[in-house]
Every structure is written in structure tokens, then in C-alpha cells.
A and B are shown apart, each in its own frame.
Chain A
Amino acid sequence: MSKIWRVASREYLSNLRRKSFIFTTFGIPILMIALILVITTLSIQAEAGDVNDQIGYVDHSGVLSRQIAIPDNYTMFDSEEAAEAALAADEIGAYFVVEPDYMATGSVTLYIASGGGDALIETFNQYLIANIDTGLNPEIAARVLDPVVMSLLTLNNGRQIEENSIGVIFMIPMIFVFVFFMAIQTTSGTLMSSVVEEKSSRVIEILVTSVTPFQLLAGKIIGLGALGITQISIWVGATLLVVLLSNAIPQLHGLSVPLDIIFVGITYFLLGYALTASFMAGIGAVAGSEQESRQIAGLAVFPLVIPFFFIYIFITDPNAPIAVFLTLFPLTAPVTAILRVGYSGIPTWQLVASILIMTITTLFAVWASARVFRWSILMYGKRPSLKRIIGAIFGRSEMQTTATGERAG
């Protein structure tokens, strides 16, 4: 166990200091936070730089006499002179004049100190609509004016999203999938590079006389898994910071980090990482070179991407057969599960079955990978055939050397 621990701590510490790791781990959150700060600053500056948002109006037609649903920043003036004086004194930023023949012509004039008036016209339109006497009582008129105040309650996961935060519903699961996908990619990719480096530099020749291939593999998986957890913690921490900052930005109101996504995410990260890392270790051990191992690894990671093509189905038909299949299939389960939990929820039986299947698959993959790793770690040059690799998993997996089967030196 102490040797596994030594390998693990070396993998963790040496990779923690790598420039690429530091850049990825801190660079992405820093960029994200910087972006939020820039948006916030611009938003605050824009608000601070706005012209006076107090609006006046003069109603010659009498259509606004009841002042139904009058906006807080609206003030009625008796005459255009009074409104003009208020505008000149900067008490108001603009004023409307509703002409006497409004009901017949719809004629309204806007006087504004500076800038465009699109937003003002929109709110004034709403105000006018509310006050045109349709014979409806004010309550009904208000409902006609704003028929829906949306509050979306997703039944499967019980998550409630207010109207102004519906836009962010898509963000959280995507952010989490991105975080876990990146963490799995980074750490398992590092594991593969580490195996390839030790093999190509021949350090492995010395290592196998000090540790068993299993100790070496286990140390690497544990050390780099811890590295992944560190990376995720930093990213999740940064996300929480973004959530705090987001309160300053109206468009991001309602952004929150649901605990169930974090829990499911961490569970699937650990399983997904161990599964991918096992593949990567096996690929690194049998591949002839770094380039070759990366090409094969691309194929191994591809299934993780497949669920992204089915996001629409996860939202519109959460329990469609393809959604259930992708949740249960181990290679697509991590990404599918996080997306589904985020968007629509997963029935408990599917979640339990998925985690169970994935755990069994991962345990098998670690075991098989350890056998392939042991079998091929001292073979250099030509990559063994798939048939021989399968033979090594299920047959006698004695460590092979380059000379094995040829002439031994």
C-alpha cells in the first residue's frame, strides 16, 4: 500500500506543478470570473450613465385619466410648458404628449433629452393599452396586458425556476457537464501520457523491479484521480463565486448550483474517470508512441460526446428509450446522467441501475486494464493485435518483453 501511495503522491504533486494543469485549472475560472466582472462593470456603468429615467406625460385626450397600472417613474403634467420646464430642469428625462385626437389618430409625441426612445415607447404603449377603456375592469385589463407570469416547476426533479431565470436553466447542467468532461479528459489524458512517457523513456524497466504493475497502475489512477478532484473543486468553487457575482446581473438572476447535480456529478466523475483512465492506461501500455496513443484515445473518449446530440430529447421527452439507453450504457452514462438530472430529472431506478452497471463495468475495466498493463508494459515497437490483447485479458497475462516470442537476449 505504501508503494501505491508513493506513486500516487508523486503523480499528484508533479502534475499539480505542470504549467498546462495550472493554466487549465486556474485559467478557465479566472477567464469566467473576469468575463462576469466585465459584464457587471459595463452593466453598472451603463446604468450610472443613463439619462434621467423619470418620465413625464401630458394627456390632452383624457385616455390616461384613470392612471391604471401607472409605472413608478411616470409623472403626469397638466401642461406641455410644465413638462418642458421639468425636462429642462432635468427633473425628467423625457415626456410624452398625448394629442387630443388620440383615440381617432393614435397621435403621441415624445420629447426626449438625448438618446433613443425605443424602450420608453414600449412602456408607454403598455401604459396606454392598460388605460384604453375597453369596458373591462382593471384586474382583467391587467391580465390581458400580461397574460402569463411564468413559474416553471419541473416535476421529475422538483426544481422550480422563476420566469426571469428560465434562460439559465440550460446553463447549469452544461457548465457541470463541461467541468466533469474536462476533468475526466485532463486527468485520464495525463495518465496515458505518463504511462507512454515511462514506457518510451524506458524508466518502466526500473520501476517494475521496485513496484508491481498493479501497484504502479493503482498509484497512477489514485494520484491523478485526486488531481481531477482538485481541479473540479477549484472549478466548482469558481462557479459558486460566479453565482454570487451573478446577483449583480439581472440576466443571471436565479442562477444557482443545485446540490443534486453536484452529488450526481461527483459520483459519475469518479466512475467515469476510473473507467476512462483504465482505457487510457491500457492504450498507453500497448500503443507504440504518444501520437498513436492519442489517436486511439480519441476513439475511447468519443462516446462521452454522444449525449450532447440528444439534449433536445432529454428536455422534451426525458424517458424516451434513447435517453434511458444512454443513461444505462456505461460509456455515455456520466454525461447523460448529469444532463438529465439538470434538465428533467431521472427516475430513481434508472439512476441506481446506471450507477450499478457503471460500477461493475468500471471494476471490470480496472481489472482488465491491470492485466493488459502488466502484459504489455515491457513490449516495445509493434503494437499487439486486438486478438492478443483480448487473450492477455482472459488468458495467461504474464509480463511480456520485446524479445518474447522472438529471440531473447
Chain B
Amino acid sequence: MTSSAVSVAGISKSYGSFKAVDNVSFDVQGGEIFALLGPNGAGKSTIIRMILDILKPDSGRIAVLDGTLDDARKSRIGYLPEERGLYRNVPVLEIMVYLASLKGMPAGDARKRGLELLEQLELGDVSKKKVSELSKGMQQKVQFAVTILHRPELVIIDEPFSGLDPINTLTIKELIIGLRNQGTAIMMSTHQMYQVEEMANRLFMINRGKPALYGPVQQVRQDYALPAVIVEGVGDWAALPAVERVEQISDGEGTMAQAGTLLYLRDGASSDDVLQQIVSQPGHQLRRFEQAIPSLNDIFIRVVEEGVVHE
């Protein structure tokens, strides 16, 4: 497997006077799930299309699978676009074999692997059915199967879970994680932040065409951690010396996703200080104590609302 599946260095792209992508750099490694995030119209699709050589960057360099995207490298990429569809009146397996053959896979292998994948996706009985006869969820799964049929080393997926019910979402999620564990580089663009938290190793967020966040998911969340802890239990929290002020939060309210009591720390105080004071002072019962790390969803909203970008 390739270590650097995608390497983007200082790419920019303008449409007339509108700068869609401005000096963006990141890299995607083999064996990781890399999330490409950003609000609608931020430039995600433009970046993906530049990586896929559909659009040319005005400046900067892009390397895919350690080189320029040529015919051979194209065959090592699987792409699930956001705007997707299949030939409506053609049997499922025939479409899979044709699209895999365009990636250089022999028809016999494609047929065998196609049937295996359909079986894995619980679609074993649809191979001879036309796409128009399938439900939307089934079509989505077939589309995903087409993306990974030829065993690509780099998989670029745009909103892989849209239109899927929780069970199908889980099936696709397991497949993506399975691919990652086998060493495939997964670049995923999605608005479902909880999926990114659960699945992604690293992320890159673009806002108004410019880089906003970049790094390991947990690191990014840590960077946005509040000077506070969340507690649940009984006690006079405001009386604790290390606590500056107290705020009640209900589920999904404010900047924190979980319900509880938010204890803001005084300058110089740490979460350890708060914990020690709770334990040492009588009358406190503690059921939950954790650092106030915002969810990715909260961070996303904050970045967009505050217009955070890194020049």
C-alpha cells in the first residue's frame, strides 16, 4: 500500500473573480479515514474534483498515489460522488462489471468479486435486477459496491451515508472501516459529524475556500476544549475554590452536546484541582466528571459562525 495516497500542496482555484479554493494543503495517508469537512459551498467538491483531475488547480501541486494522476493511477482510485446514479435499465451485475472493466479489472474477476460484494451487502438476489427495480437504499449500496469493486487503494467518498437507514448505514460503515484496516486510504466528505468522530482518524475543514482546521480528530477537539469540566451529581459546585462560575446545560444545548453542569475554571486552576476539591469536601456526590470537550458538531458550527480560517 502507498503511504501518501493524496498530497495537496498550496492549491488554489478561482471561477472568475470568485476564489473557490485558496491555498489549501493537506495529505491523506494509506490506512486512515480522512474527513474533508466544510459548509455547503466551502469548496469541498472543487477540491475533490481537482484531486480527480476533473478540474485543474490554478496553482499548487497535487500528487495522487505518489504521482500525477494518469490512467494507471485512475484505476487505483474508487470514487463515490455526491451527485450519483447508475444506468437505470441495465442489470446490476452488468453495470458493476462494465464500470470495473473501465478500471482495468478483467470481466471474470469483476463478476466474481461483484457477486461477493453484493452478498456482503445483503443484495445477493438483485444481481440480475435492473437498477430501476431497486429501492433507493439498495441503489446506494450498489453504488458503494461499484466504488470499491476493483479493490482501489484510494477511496474518495462524498456523503456515503445520505439516504441510508441506520442498518444500511452500519453496513457501509463497517465496510469502510474494514477497508481502512486493510490499508486503504479513505477520504470522506460528509456533514454527519458524529460519523467523523466515530470513524475518522484525521480531518481537514475548509471554510470560505480557506483552511480552517487540520489534524487528528481528537487533537482538533482537544484544541477546542473549554476551560471547564462537566459534572453530574449533588453538591455546591459554585463554592469550590477552583470554580469561577457554574452553568447548567441540557442535552444538545449551548456548545456542549451532553446534559450536565458546566464548571468554568478560574485562571490557573486545572480539572485535577476541581476533582480534588470535590473529593476532599464533604457533601458532594459525583456520578460524572469529564473535561468539557466540545463535539465536532459544535466545533463545526463555531468555525463557520465565527468565520475561522487560517491564512
* In the complex, per-residue mask of A258-290: 1 if CB is within 8 Å of any chain B CB, else 0: 000000000000000000000000000000000
Let me know if B45 and A409 touch, CB within 8 A: yes
In the complex, which of the residues B13, B42, B75, B102 has the most CB atoms of chain A within 10 Å of its own CB atom? B102
With contacts A7-B102, A206-B79 known, is A401 near B45, CB below 8 A?
yes
With contacts A3-B102, A201-B88, A404-B15 known, is A210 near B55, CB below 8 A?
no
Let me know if A210 and B75 touch, CB within 8 A: yes
Min CB distance B102 to A, Å, is 4
In the complex, which of the residues A203, A404, A409 has the most CB atoms of chain B within 10 Å of its own CB atom? A409
Verify if A316 is at the interface (C-beta below 8 Å from B): no
Question: For residue B33, which residues in chain A have a CB less than 8 angstroms away from its CB?
Answer: none
Q: Which of B35-77 contact A (CB under 8 A)?
A: 40-46, 49, 52, 54-56, 71, 74-75, 77
Q: Which of B40, B43, B74, B85 contacts A203 (CB 8 A)?
A: B85
Verify if B205 is at the interface (C-beta below 8 Å from A): no
Verify if B101 is at the interface (C-beta below 8 Å from A): yes
* Bound-state Cα–Cα, A59 to B18, Å: 107
Main secondary structure of the interface of A (DSSP, over half): loop
Q: Please name the residue on chain B nearest to A6 by beta carbon.
A: B101
Verify if B83 is at the interface (C-beta below 8 Å from A): yes
Q: Please name the residue on chain A nearest to B41 by beta carbon.
A: A407
Verify if A207 is at the interface (C-beta below 8 Å from B): yes
With contacts A401-B49, A409-B41 known, is A210 near B86, CB below 8 A?
no
Question: For residue B71, which residues in chain A have a CB less than 8 angstroms away from its CB?
Answer: 3
Verify if B84 is at the interface (C-beta below 8 Å from A): yes
Question: For residue B83, which residues in chain A have a CB less than 8 angstroms away from its CB?
Answer: 202, 205, 380
Q: Which of B21, B90, B101 contacts A14 (CB 8 A)?
A: B90
* Bound-state Cα–Cα, A207 to B77, Å: 12
Verify if A64 is at the interface (C-beta below 8 Å from B): no
Let me know if B55 and A399 touch, CB within 8 A: yes
* In the complex, per-residue mask of A366-409: 1 if CB is within 8 Å of any chain B CB, else 0: 00000000000010100000000000000000110101111111
Q: Please name the residue on chain B nearest to A216 by beta carbon.
A: B102
With contacts A202-B83, A408-B43 known, is A210 near B99, CB below 8 A?
yes
Q: Please name the residue on chain A nearest to B147 by beta carbon.
A: A206
* In the complex, per-residue mask of A198-225: 1 if CB is within 8 Å of any chain B CB, else 0: 1001110111111100000000000000
Verify if B118 is at the interface (C-beta below 8 Å from A): no
Verify if A10 is at the interface (C-beta below 8 Å from B): yes
Let me know if B52 and A407 touch, CB within 8 A: no
Verify if B268 is at the interface (C-beta below 8 Å from A): no
Verify if A99 is at the interface (C-beta below 8 Å from B): no
Q: Please name the residue on chain A nearest to B46 by beta carbon.
A: A408
Verify if A197 is at the interface (C-beta below 8 Å from B): yes
Let me know if A399 and B85 touch, CB within 8 A: no
With contacts A206-B99, A209-B74 known, is A408 near B86, CB below 8 A?
no
* Bound-state Cα–Cα, A187 to B119, Å: 37
* Bound-state Cα–Cα, A223 to B79, Å: 26
Let me know if A197 and B84 touch, CB within 8 A: no
Question: For residue A207, which residues in chain B have a CB less than 8 angstroms away from its CB?
Answer: 99, 102
Question: For residue A405, which residues in chain B have a CB less than 8 angstroms away from its CB?
Answer: 15-16, 18
Q: Which of A1-56 contact B (CB under 8 A)?
A: 3, 6-7, 10, 14
Let me know if A399 and B54 touch, CB within 8 A: yes
Let me know if A203 and B20 touch, CB within 8 A: no
* Bound-state Cα–Cα, A202 to B42, Å: 22
* Bound-state Cα–Cα, A197 to B98, Å: 16
Let me know if B54 and A408 touch, CB within 8 A: no
In the complex, which of the residues A201, A401, A407 has the most CB atoms of chain B within 10 Å of its own CB atom? A407
* In the complex, per-residue mask of B81-108: 1 if CB is within 8 Å of any chain A CB, else 0: 1111111101000000011011100000
With contacts A14-B90, A209-B54, A401-B55 known, is A201 near B16, CB below 8 A?
no
Let me know if A201 and B79 touch, CB within 8 A: no
Q: Please name the residue on chain A nearest to B71 by beta carbon.
A: A3
CB pairs A–B below 8 angstroms (14 shown) = A198-B87, A202-B85, A205-B85, A207-B99, A207-B102, A209-B79, A210-B74, A210-B99, A398-B56, A399-B54, A401-B45, A403-B46, A405-B16, A408-B43
**Partner-B contacts on A (CB < 8 A):** 3, 6-7, 10, 14, 197-198, 201-203, 205-211, 378, 380, 398-399, 401, 403-409
